[in-house]
Amino acid sequence: MIKIVANQRACSRAFRQWAGTLTANSLAKDYGWVIEGTGVVFTNYGHGEGGDITTQVMLGADPEYGDGVVKIVQPKASRHDKGPTTVLGCDDLGRLLLLREGRLQKNNLSRLIKDDFAKLSGLAEVPLIVKGERSARHFYVVADLSAKPGDIVAQTAAFANACVRARSRAGGGEPRPVEDETTVTYGMDEKWRVTKSTRLGGTFEVKALQGHIFAELKKVVGKELRKPKRNGFCVDALIEPANLLIEIKTSTSAHALYEGVGQLQLYPSLIGIASAPTTALLIPDDPLKPIMAAALEEAGIQVFTYGIEETAGKPRITFADKFIGRCMVRVG
């Protein structure tokens, strides 16, 4: 049984804990934050200064549309379950749970979603008790605030992606603009140079960075970072002790991500990797569209980012701490 928490101080403290856990365990960007390993973007939705969360968080922000997937707000205890869509609950074990009503307002991403939220999202409703009665509204767990910080972040990302799937399946909204492939850079070889690649539709500038990215990662990981080859194929990076297969991309275009997913799925068989490795995309730190982040999660692919700056004509590559930590994990 989950009872609503009607104390504002407790609600405010819990919301601050949740928001602080998210920002402390995510990668800060000029457009908000990225939950490393998932590609999920969240912002303060214009409430508060950059890098600061006050009372609102937009999960699954889509910069292309200026819209987001689902908004989480600080609960208003005095309104019980009659106020904002976010409330705080407490279960029989004393665990505090951040809950969100299964209602997504119509926006550019989809139609209004309410009665069919569970079916579209795949999430299970939890019964909320208010003044001794079950709430007539339908609530779902965003995160268990009694869990470890990493689990709170993972649960929040999973909730965001479930809402993405709900919007995608519901349809409606505005048609997505067609991606302009002429502005996309592709990594075609392993040298820092600009080449030209002509194909149907025009000539494309190509910045080949994989070799530099691999070299920088090698400095961190050491000799355990390998590029096994077999049958005429070669992976971008494999760390056997971490059981991690990495595909490096120099673009977040749909084309590049489709290619990366296919490579990650096929390489274990093509190269002969028997350990069923965890698969990961290593991509530039541009924000992913929410629907792409959700699709990659569903495919079981982790998403990490790297930063790149040009200094004296040469690239300087930086990696997020969470990615380095994952590379250093020893499995088995």
For residue 9, the model assigns a pLDDT of 97
E strand or H helix that includes residue 99: strand 96-101
* Residues 142 and 106 sit within 8 Å (Cβ to Cβ): no
E strand or H helix that includes residue 41: strand 40-43
* Residues 89 and 128 sit within 8 Å (Cβ to Cβ): yes
Query: In angstroms, how far is CA 264 from the centroid of its own chain?
Result: 18
For residue 275, the model assigns a pLDDT of 83
List, for residues 213-261, the tens digit of each pLDDT value: 999 999 999 999 999 999 889 999 999 999 999 999 988 999 999 999 9
* β-pair partners for 314: 311
> Helices (DSSP H) in the chain: which residue ranges?
8-24, 117-121, 149-170, 210-221, 254-267, 290-298, 321-327
Lowest pLDDT segment from 18-32, 276-290, 306-320: 306-320
Q: What angle do CA 228, 229, 235 make, to 5 degrees?
A: 65
Q: By CB neighbour count within 10 A (0-12 exposed, 13-18 middle, 19+ buried), where does 229 fall?
A: exposed
What does the alpha-carbon distance between residue 25 and residue 20 come to, in Å, rounded to a whole number? 8
Q: By CB neighbour count within 10 A (0-12 exposed, 13-18 middle, 19+ buried), where does 259 fall?
A: middle
Structural tokens at position 205:
């500038």
What does the alpha-carbon distance between residue 120 and residue 292 come to, in Å, rounded to a whole number? 17
Taking the model in full, what pTM does it have?
0.85
Is 325 a residue whose pLDDT tops 60? yes
* Residues 225 and 183 sit within 8 Å (Cβ to Cβ): no
For residue 309, the model assigns a pLDDT of 83
List, for residues 202-218, the tens digit of each pLDDT value: 433 334 578 889 999 99
List, for residues 110-147, the tens digit of each pLDDT value: 999 999 999 999 999 999 999 999 999 999 999 999 99
Is 188 a residue whose pLDDT tops 70? no
What does the alpha-carbon distance between residue 188 and residue 249 come to, in Å, rounded to a whole number? 10
* Residues 239 and 225 sit within 8 Å (Cβ to Cβ): yes
Q: 133: number of CA atoms within 13 Å, CB side? A: 5
pLDDT confidence band for 331 (50 / 70 / 90): confident
Collapsed DSSP state (helix, strand, coil) of residue 176: coil
Residue whose C-alpha is closest to residue 153's, from 302, 32, 36, 69 = 36
For residue 6, the model assigns a pLDDT of 95
For residue 177, the model assigns a pLDDT of 52
What does the alpha-carbon distance between residue 35 and residue 322 come to, in Å, rounded to a whole number? 10
Q: Please state the rounded mean pLDDT for residues 285-293.
A: 92
For residue 205, the model assigns a pLDDT of 38
